């Protein structure tokens, strides 16, 4: 058996696919926690941080937090590695090069998402928004850097718009195995609402980055938590923030369902 065939066999093994599906469960749970934290912020809880860091810290503070963090790291890392291997061997879920590129990018993103809980596990400290502020401060030291920061905001906005369109037009049906009509209808409804809410959160983050880059004030560029906090201070902010939080919870439920129903 060649090396390529051996890698393909491992990639298709039950253990590897179970770890990858566990990664979808974790991403779903992270969105549920972020949604809950966003709703907490809408009700005035200033200690809540509705982003990935806040979610990981909530997991770490739970009973058996260390064990849970290990499970999160293994699941996210396994999903990221699975997607990278799938991109290289099979061209992603759609079996073409564009799908392979997208799958590889997502795989790298999931591997990156496994870094913060690893830092927490080994006793490191995470500050929500610190990385975003450090990056923006570095970039805003020059005009070229400010342009790069604006382009990052535009890229995030494009991603947010993609998620909104994907939810509205339900362009995620390929993610799921064929389902009975009623069951499939319910799952697709969850996905539609969830993708739209996730897209709006990305658009808010992009808007914050672009505005603060133009105003040259890197101290306020503080990631998703900062964007959602800024939303709360606007007109009917708590209402909109609660709605986005509820939508992220719905997306999280869809993510958990996808763990069982997705094509792998």
How do residues 21-71 score in pLDDT, each as one tens digit? 899 899 999 999 999 998 998 888 777 888 888 889 889 888 888 899 999
Helix pair angle (223-232, 181-215), 10° resolution = 90
252 phi, psi to nearest 5 deg: -60, -40
pTM for the structure as a whole: 0.81
Residue 121 has a pLDDT of: 86
Centre a 10 Å sphere on the Cβ of residue 6 and count the other Cβ atoms it contains. Answer: 10
Classify 166 as helix, strand or coil: helix
Looking at residue 113, the DSSP 8-state letter turns out to be: H
- Which pLDDT tens digits describe the chain residue by residue (264 residues)? 555 565 566 566 778 788 888 998 999 999 999 999 989 988 887 778 888 888 898 898 888 888 999 999 999 998 889 888 888 877 666 666 666 787 788 889 899 888 888 888 887 766 655 555 555 555 556 667 677 777 888 888 888 898 899 888 887 777 776 667 677 788 888 888 889 988 888 888 888 777 766 765 555 555 677 777 777 777 777 888 888 889 899 989 988 888 887 766
* Residue whose tokens read 């005009």: 143
Centre a 10 Å sphere on the Cβ of residue 238 and count the other Cβ atoms it contains. Answer: 16
């Amino acid at each position: 058996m060649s090396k390529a065939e051996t890698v393909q066999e491992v990639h298709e093994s039950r253990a590897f696919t179970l770890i990858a599906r566990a990664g979808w469960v974790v991403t779903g749970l992270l969105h549920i926690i972020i949604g809950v934290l966003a709703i907490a912020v809408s009700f005035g809880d200033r200690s809540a941080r509705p982003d990935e860091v806040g979610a990981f810290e909530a997991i770490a503070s739970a009973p058996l937090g260390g064990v849970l963090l290990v499970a999160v790291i293994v699941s996210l890392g396994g999903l990221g590695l699975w997607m990278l291997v799938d991109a290289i061997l099979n061209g992603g879920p759609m079996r073409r090069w564009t799908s392979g590129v997208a799958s590889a990018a997502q795989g790298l993103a999931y591997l990156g998402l496994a870094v913060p809980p690893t830092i927490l596990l080994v006793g490191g400290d995470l500050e929500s928004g610190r990385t975003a502020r450090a990056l923006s401060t570095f970039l805003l030291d020059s005009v070229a850097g400010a342009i790069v920061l604006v382009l990052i905001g535009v890229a995030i906005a494009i991603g947010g718009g993609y998620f909104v369109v994907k939810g509205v037009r339900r362009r995620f049906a390929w993610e799921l195995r064929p389902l009975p009509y009623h069951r499939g209808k319910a799952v697709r409804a969850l996905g539609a609402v969830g993708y739209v809410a996730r897209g709006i959160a990305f658009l808010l983050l992009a808007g914050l980055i672009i505005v603060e880059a133009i105003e040259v004030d890197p101290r306020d560029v503080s990631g998703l938590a900062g964007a959602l906090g800024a939303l709360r201070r606007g007109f009917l902010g708590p209402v909109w923030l609660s709605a986005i939080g509820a939508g992220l919870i719905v997306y999280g439920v869809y993510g958990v369902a996808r763990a069982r129903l997705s094509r792998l």
